[in-house]
Amino acid sequence: MKYLLFYIISLLSFTACIREDLPPSGSFALKEGDPLPEFSISNPNGTVSKKDLENKFALIIFFSTTCSDCREAFPDISALYNVYQDDPSVCMLLIARNETEDQVTAYFREHQYDMDFFADPDRKVYSLFADNTIPRVFLAGKDGTIILTQTEKVDAGEIRAIVAK
């Protein structure tokens, strides 16, 4: 009986990162056609706000290093980062939801990811975009309007195809 209870709890913890609690009927998430919200987020390398994204594609990916779906997506996220890190027409923001800079740095170091990120330990920025579910991707066009959203996945091919158009 103890093993059955342990097994059930383990299964629930694996789904918690993407589903959290079942979203309430009025759950919030920005969708295609919505404008990017006003926001500002900082890391040791500087601060980025909505104004810094003007006339650029804005690729914003919310993640957590404790989420199994996010961990599966990190190779695609890293590939996108490598493609766009030096592209002046694209600003890619990786935002760690509910985590500190130290937590993410330790995970990235352990898994040899060399990506700039922003910590959002209290969900201040995340709450402007959605209220549940990660990984979560928002791609905004150069006019600041969201043109693609992805939930529970990161489809790098779809993102690259849209930016290339």
pLDDT digits (tens, 9 = 90+) for 120-136: 999 999 999 999 999 99
Q: What is the mean pLDDT of residues 147-161?
A: 95
Q: Which domain holds residue 97?
A: 29-164
Name the nearest CA neighbour of 57 among 95, 94, 91: 91
Q: How far apart are CA 162 and CA 146, in angstroms?
A: 12
Residue 77 lies in a domain: yes
Structure tokens at 104: 């993410």
Tell me which of 15-19, 112-116, 126-130, 137-141 is least confident: 15-19
Q: How far apart are CA 89 and CA 165, in angstroms?
A: 13
Residue 3 lies in a domain: no
What was the pLDDT predicted at 68?
95
Residue 2 lies in a domain: no
Is residue 17 very low, low, confident or very high in pLDDT (cuts 50, 70, 90)? low
Residue 17 lies in a domain: no
Task: Assign residue 104 the CATH number of its domain.
Answer: 3.40.30.10
pLDDT-above-70 percentage for the chain: 84
C-alpha Rg value of the chain to the nearest Å: 16
Residue 66 lies in a domain: yes
Cβ atoms < 10 Å from Cβ of 28: 12
